[in-house]
Structure 1
Amino acid sequence: MAEEQATPPAQPQMRVLGQFIRDISFENIVAQKGATSEMQPDVQVQVNLDAKKRSQDKQYEASIKLNVTSKDKESEAVLFVLEVDYVGLFFIDNVPDAQMHPFLLIECPRMIFPFLRRVVSDITRDGGFPPLNLETIDFVSLYRNEIAKRQAAEASAETADKPSLN
Structure 2
Amino acid sequence: MAETDNGAAPAAPTPPQMKILGQFIRDLSFENILSQKPVEGEVQPDIQVQVSLDARKRGEGQYEVISKYNITSKNKNGDETLFVLEIEYAGIFKIDNIPDDQLHPFLLIECPRMTFPFVRRIVSDMTRDGGFPPLNLDNIDFIALYRQTILQKQKAQAAAEANAPKVS
Fold similarity call, TM over 0.5:
yes
Deviation at 1:4, TM superposition (A): 4.5
Q: CA RMSD in A?
A: 1.7
Letter in 2 for 1:24: L
**Following superposition, which runs of at least 4 residues in structure 1 exceed 6 angstroms of deviation?**
none
Instruction: Give matches, 1:1-166, under 5 Å.
Output: 2-35=6-39, 38-54=42-58, 56-161=59-164, 163=166
Letter in 1 for 2:19: R
CA distance, structure 2, for counterparts of residue 2 and residue 94 of structure 1: 26
Deviation at 1:138, TM superposition (A): 0.3
CA distance, structure 1, for counterparts of residue 73 and residue 6 of structure 2: 69
Contact (CA 8 Å) 2:42, 2:77: kept in 1 or not? Answer: no
Gaps in structure 1 of 5+ consecutive residues: none
CA distance, structure 2, for counterparts of residue 111 and residue 21 of structure 1: 15
Letter in 2 for 1:9: P
Contact (CA 8 Å) 1:30, 1:36: kept in 2 or not? Answer: no
Deviation at 1:162, TM superposition (A): 5.8
Deviation at 1:147, TM superposition (A): 0.6
Q: Secondary structure at the match of 1:33?
A: coil
Deviation at 1:163, TM superposition (A): 3.7
Contact (CA 8 Å) 2:47, 2:71: kept in 1 or not? Answer: yes
Query: Once the two structures are aligned, what percentage of the paired residues are identical?
Result: 59
| Count of equivalent residues | 163
Gaps in structure 2 of 5+ consecutive residues: none
Q: Secondary structure at the match of 2:9?
A: coil
CA distance, structure 2, for counterparts of residue 5 and residue 152 of structure 1: 48
CA distance, structure 1, for counterparts of residue 148 and residue 53 of structure 2: 12
Q: Secondary structure at the match of 1:30?
A: coil
Letter in 2 for 1:66: Y
Deviations 1:78-122 (A, max 9, x none): 000000001111111111111111010000000000010000000
Q: Secondary structure at the match of 1:53?
A: strand
